[in-house]
Amino acid sequence: MNYNNLICRLCLFDASGNVSIFTNYDADRNGYLAHKIMQIANVQVYEGDGLPSLICRGCLNRVEGYFQFKIQVEKSDYFLRQQVCSYQAEPLPPAPVEKSS
């Protein structure tokens, strides 16, 4: 049975209002949905793999939200690691030396 135009590849519900995951719908922001899906879930998504090529609008919104959250987490992690590295790279001030009398 050919499911390509019947169900959403991600939630398996009706793909009405469907969007192809292989169309570069968003050229300004890493536009291929297939790439974004593989970035947020441990799945393989390839054109011509025999699986549905459409997703519903609800899943489109979820993919976009999860992908943006992933980017935010990665940026935060990078920032914090840079802060730790720069803090550790700074020389410590010399310890005060007590003078003996």
Binding site members for Zn(2+): 8, 11, 56, 59
What is the amino acid identity at position 86?
S
CB 11 within 8 A of CB 58: yes
- String of b and e for 52-66 (b: at least 16 CB within 10 Å)? bbbbbeebbeebeee
Residue list for the binding site? 8, 11, 56, 59
